[in-house]
């Protein structure tokens, strides 16, 4: 199992923006130094807590400070930008990263962003599909393009000057395009199947109950079957909230503190999902009454914490529950205590993952 990093950072509302951005960047640099294989960052334009407004800009800031780690958009919310702008910016970023870019995409889940960009009442799934299809067509074709859709049109026919390069949209370094991943946030996600059929791979979100994470694999298998490719568990990424400390008391105190970064993270998500009628994501079964879904229950079920030995055991138990997957994405949180935040990542990479991989190797069913 590989170790990756995924952050949709939720910071305290009164925290200095420069400080939170600097710490988020330090986490990516640390992940690279520790041998994490990939790292993703989310983006929102209208969220004071989730305050990275452009994952492209953030990754460009990180690019030169990292050496090996693959960096991913987590995600580009496709309906909120013109496909040509996405295609051009991602192409440049892939060159800046020397081909280390992973292209994470979604329809966007933050309703205030949708309202801001004028698509709150629109069919954002339809917009998402048109946008990604146009991006891929731009990268696969030459100017003047003439790509027409319901929501966007792409052409430079009137202004093309081929001999001086005017009217060209850049192509990424990786051809035909960077690897594409989609974040799955729904139980039995149909999107996972559709993505797999197109050759894309899934990330299961860290705020889903294990039963819903497990439900993504059969969908992925079905999609791969439709796409004529093998369903390889190594292509499945699963995000998880984890905190590791040198002693159990410190781990429990930091991970369960009502004013700490882990509970704060889930309190924010709990509030948003409940307000938007999506509390089902936090249920342990589909017929569970809404009033049984409490923040305390959510945190208890979704946050792994403890010493390296204990965390390794919990990760292995989670692996047994949901099935084999290729990359565990350590979910980034605010560095309320920077020393503990850094230490947790270090212990995860240097102590926990060797134990996890030894445990997986020793299982008779590991090959299955």
Q: What pLDDT digit, counting tens, does each position of 224-256 carry?
A: 999 999 999 999 999 999 999 999 999 999 999
Across the chain, where does the E strand assignment appear?
2-7, 38-41, 70-73, 76-77, 101-106, 147-148, 153-154, 180-184, 201-204, 237-244, 303-306, 327-331
Could you report the per-residue pLDDT of 204-220, keeping only the tens digit for each?
Answer: 999 999 999 999 999 99
pLDDT at position 365 is: 55
277 pLDDT higher than 90: no
pLDDT at position 230 is: 96
How far apart are alpha carbons 181 and 202 in whole angstroms?
Answer: 5
Distances (CA, A) of 8 to 19, 76, 251, 334, 365: 16, 12, 22, 10, 34
| Mean of all residue pLDDT scores within the chain | 96
Could you report the per-residue pLDDT of 31-60, keeping only the tens digit for each?
Answer: 999 999 999 999 999 999 999 999 999 999
Could you report the per-residue pLDDT of 101-147, keeping only the tens digit for each?
Answer: 999 999 998 999 999 999 999 999 999 999 999 999 999 999 999 99
How far apart are alpha carbons 322 and 290 in whole angstroms?
Answer: 24
Could you report the per-residue pLDDT of 317-365, keeping only the tens digit for each?
Answer: 999 999 999 999 999 999 999 999 999 999 999 999 999 999 999 877 5
How far apart are alpha carbons 122 and 141 in whole angstroms?
Answer: 29
pLDDT at position 368 is: 40
pLDDT at position 93 is: 98
Contact assessment for residue 81 and residue 70, using Cβ atoms and an 8 Å cutoff:
no
> What percent of the chain is predicted at pLDDT more than 90?
93
| Beta-carbon contacts of residue 140 (< 8 Å; ≥ 6 apart) | 176
Looking at the whole model, is its pTM more than 0.85? yes
366 pLDDT higher than 70: no
pLDDT at position 276 is: 87
Q: Confidence band (pLDDT; 50, 70, 90) for 278?
A: confident
Could you report the per-residue pLDDT of 149-180, keeping only the tens digit for each?
Answer: 999 999 999 999 999 999 999 999 999 999 99
pLDDT at position 203 is: 97
- Mean pLDDT value of segment 272-279: 89
In 3D space, the residue among 339, 304, 331, 295 whose CA is nearest the CA of residue 36 turns out to be: 331
pLDDT at position 168 is: 98
């Amino acid at each position: 199992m590989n170790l990756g990093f995924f952050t949709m950072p939720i910071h305290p509302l009164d925290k200095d923006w420069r400080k939170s951005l600097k710490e988020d960047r330090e986490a990516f640099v640390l992940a690279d130094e520790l041998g994490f294989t990939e790292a993703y960052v989310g983006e929102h334009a209208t969220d004071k807590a989730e305050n990275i407004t452009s994952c492209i800009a953030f990754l460009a800031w990180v690019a030169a400070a990292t050496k090996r780690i693959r960096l991913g958009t987590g995600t580009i919310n496709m309906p909120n930008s013109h496909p040509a702008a996405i295609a051009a910016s991602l192409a440049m970023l892939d060159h800046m990263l020397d081909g280390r870019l992973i292209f994470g995409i979604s329809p966007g889940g933050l309703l205030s962003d949708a309202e801001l960009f004028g698509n709150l009442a629109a069919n954002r799934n339809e917009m998402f599909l048109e946008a990604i299809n146009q991006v891929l067509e731009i990268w696969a074709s030459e100017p003047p393009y003439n790509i027409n859709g319901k929501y966007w049109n792409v052409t430079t026919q009137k202004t093309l000057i081929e001999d001086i390069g005017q009217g060209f949209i850049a192509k990424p370094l990786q051809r035909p395009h960077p690897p594409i991943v989609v974040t799955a946030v729904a139980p039995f996600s149909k999107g996972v199947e559709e993505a797999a059929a197109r050759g894309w791979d899934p990330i299961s979100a860290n705020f889903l109950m294990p039963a819903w994470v497990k439900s993504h694999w059969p969908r992925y298998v079905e999609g791969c079957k439709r796409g004529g490719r093998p369903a390889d568990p190594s292509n499945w990424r699963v995000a998880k909230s984890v905190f590791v400390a040198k002693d159990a008391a410190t781990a429990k105190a930091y991970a369960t503190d009502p004013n700490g970064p882990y509970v704060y993270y889930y309190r924010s998500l709990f509030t948003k999902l409940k307000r938007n009628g999506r509390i089902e994501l936090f249920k342990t079964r589909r017929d569970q009454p809404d009033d049984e879904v409490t923040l305390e229950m959510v945190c208890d079920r979704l946050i792994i914490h403890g010493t390296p030995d204990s965390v390794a055991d919990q990760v292995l138990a989670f692996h047994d529950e949901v099935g084999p997957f290729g990359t565990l994405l350590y979910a980034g949180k605010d560095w309320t205590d920077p020393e503990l935040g850094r230490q947790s990542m270090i212990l995860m990479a240097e102590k926990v993952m060797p134990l996890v991989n030894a445990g997986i190797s020793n299982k008779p069913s590991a090959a299955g």
